[in-house]
A and B are shown apart, each in its own frame.
Chain A
Amino acid sequence: MQAFDCAIIGAGPAGMSAAITLAKSGACVAVLDQASRAGGQIYRASADSPLPDAHVLGADYTDGATLIAEFERVDITHITQADVWHIGDDGRILFSHFGDTRELHCREMLLCPGAMERPMPIPGWTLPGVMTAGAAQVMLKSDAMVAKGAVFAGSGPLLYLIVAQYLRLGVPVAAMVDTTPRQNYLAAAPLLPRAMRNLPMLKKGLDLLREIRASGVPVYRGATDLQVLGDTRAQGLRFTSASRSHDIAADTVFLHHGVQPNLNMTRAMDLTHRWNADQLCWQVDTDAFGQSSVPHVAVAGDGAGIIGADGARMAGRLAALNILHRLDLLPQEGLDRAAAPDLAALAAMSPFRAFIDRLYRPSDALRLPRDPDTLVCRCEEQTLAQLRTGFEQGARDPNALKMLTRCGMGPCQGRQCGHIVAGLLSDWRNEPPETVGYYRLRSPQRLLTLDELSRFHAIPAPTEATE
C-alpha cells in the first residue's frame, strides 16, 4: 500500500504548524485528529465559534482561527474524528472512524497528543458535578455551554483564564478557591527578574487576576483541605483558608491543578521517557527537533513537555523541518537556517516557563490523595487504602500494583491514575519517580468491539509520495 511521507496525529497548534511546513515543501501528509475540526483543545472551535462573540475569550484564542484557516488551505489528507488506537514503529497506524477500522502507513510520524489536566484526587472528586477547568473551557468553546454558579478551585493560569471568561460572559461564579501555596510565591520570586523579559505574558497573567478581583467574586487564597460536599452528586466545596473552614454551595465544581503531557501514545510506543522534576510529570525524551528514541518518530507540542500554544507552534515547525531533512526534501544548511528563529524563540521563552512552573508547582497535598477512602483509580474504583494494602502485600511498582488491584486497567487505561499511582509509590518507597517507573501501556488505546474490527479499510496515500 502507498505510504504517506508523514502522518501527524493531533491537529492542535503543533500538528497544524507541522503540517503546513511539511506540505509547503511538497511532502505527502496525513493528519489524524479526534475533533470534527482542527484546532486542538486550545483553539477548539476558534474557526467557527458557537458563541455570539468569541472575542470575549481573548485574542490568544481567536488568533487560532488564522492558523486553522492556513492549515485548511494546504494540500494534505486531513481525517477528522479519527480515534487512533495503534501506532506501530513500522509506520502502521490503526484508528477508529465512525465505527469502522482504518489503516494507513507512513515513513515518518509526528505525534502531537497535547496536554491533559493533572488529576486532582480530593475527597469526592468522582461525584457527578465535579469537572475540570479544562472541561469548562471545552464546553464553552465547542458548545457555548456554561455552568451557572460554579465554584472554581485549584491553581494555575488556566483556572484564572476560565473564571475571567465566565465573568466577561456574565455567568455567575460562586467563588474562586486558589490553592497556590504561599511558599510558592517566595520560591518563584528569584526567577522573576529573568521572566520579566517576557513582560507581555506576565502582564496578561496579572491582568486576569486583577479582572477577577475587580469583579467582586469571592476569592479565597492559600486554600487547603479541599473536599467536595455531597453524597450522590456535588453540592459544594469545603476547604480551609486563612485558618477558617468554608463551605461554598454549588452543583458544579471545576478543579484545576495544572496540565501534563498526555502520555498514552508515547508510552504505548515504548519511546524513552524522562521525569521532569520542574513540572512533576513524565515526558517523552526528545531532541530539540522533537525526535524521539525511535528516529522516525517525533513528538511535538505539550505532549512532549508543557510549553504552551505558542511554543507548540514553534516545536511543530521544528519537528517538520527535521522530518523534511530526513525525507531528503531539505538539505542540512536549509534545516539549520530555517530552524534558527524558532530555536531562539523557544529558548527565550524558557525563563518565563520556569517562573510559571515554580509559581504553580502542584502541591503534594493535591497531587496525591490523603484520605484513605478517596478513589485513586476512577475506572476500577480503587481507593488510596486499597492501593496501600496492595503495596504492603508486595506490589512495589505501578505494574505490580496494577496486576494486584486492577488500578489502571479500566477504560481510561491509567490516563487519570498513572501519575498518582507512581507518585504514591515514590512516596511509600521513599525513592525517586525514575526508580519507581510508570505503567507499561499497550495497544489498543481505546475500547474496541470485534464488530468494529471486522469493518476494515486501508487508506493509501493519494499520490506518489517521495521516495
Chain B
Amino acid sequence: MFQSLRKPERDRVTITVNGHPIEAIAGQSVWSAMALNGQTITRRAALSGEDRSAYCAMGVCFECLVEIDGLPNQQACLRRVTEGMAVTTQEITETTEATNAGL
C-alpha cells in the first residue's frame, strides 16, 4: 500500500481521476497522485486487455500511459499535476482500436 511521507507545506490542487476529484500537491507526479488515492491501474495491455500499472516510474517502460485532458499516451510518471487536470486511465487496446476503425 502506497503512503506519503511528504512534509505538509506545498500548494494543493484538485484534479480528477476517472471523473472523481482528488486532492494533490502542486508539482507532484500524476502517477503518485493516482497511486496515493488508490488508483494504481494506469492502462490496459494492448492485446489481452489486462490491467497494467507503473513499472519503472522514470519514463522508460511506458506502462503508466494515461489520458490527460483528452490527450492519450501520456506518461503518468513524468507528467506533473496542475489545477483542474483531468486524468483517465487509458482503455485503448488493439480490440478497441479495431472497433473504432470499423474492422
A411: interface (CB < 8 Å) = yes
Q: Is chain A's binding surface mostly helix, strand, loop or mixed?
A: loop
Nearest CB in chain A: distance from B9 CB, A: 9
Q: A135 contacts which chain B residues (CB < 8 A)?
A: 54-58
Cross-chain contact of B6 among A36, A144, A147 (Cβ < 8 A): A144
A378: interface (CB < 8 Å) = yes
Q: Is chain B's binding surface mostly helix, strand, loop or mixed?
A: loop
A270: interface (CB < 8 Å) = no
Interface contact A50-B6, CB-CB below 8 Å: yes
* Chain A 95-129 per-residue mask, 1 if CB under 8 angstroms from chain B, else 0: 00001000000000000000011000000001011
Distance, CA A81 to CA B5, complexed state (A): 25
A51: interface (CB < 8 Å) = yes
B78: interface (CB < 8 Å) = yes
Q: A51 contacts which chain B residues (CB < 8 A)?
A: 5-7
A330: interface (CB < 8 Å) = no
A211: interface (CB < 8 Å) = no
B73: interface (CB < 8 Å) = yes
Q: B2 contacts which chain A residues (CB < 8 A)?
A: 139, 145-148, 252
Interface contact A415-B3, CB-CB below 8 Å: no
Q: B97 contacts which chain A residues (CB < 8 A)?
A: none
A331: interface (CB < 8 Å) = no
Distance, CA A233 to CA B35, complexed state (A): 14
Q: Which 4 A-B pairs have the closest CB atoms?
A: A128-B53, A135-B57, A143-B32, A411-B62
Further pairs besides A145-B3, A411-B73: 19, Cβ < 8 Å: A50-B7, A116-B58, A128-B40, A128-B41, A130-B55, A131-B57, A132-B55, A134-B56, A135-B57, A139-B31, A139-B57, A144-B5, A144-B6, A146-B4, A146-B5, A171-B5, A380-B46, A381-B45, A381-B47
A-B contact pairs, 24 of them (CB 8 A): A34-B78, A51-B6, A116-B56, A129-B53, A132-B55, A134-B56, A135-B55, A135-B58, A138-B58, A139-B32, A143-B32, A144-B6, A146-B2, A147-B3, A149-B1, A169-B5, A232-B50, A233-B51, A233-B53, A380-B46, A381-B45, A381-B47, A410-B62, A411-B65
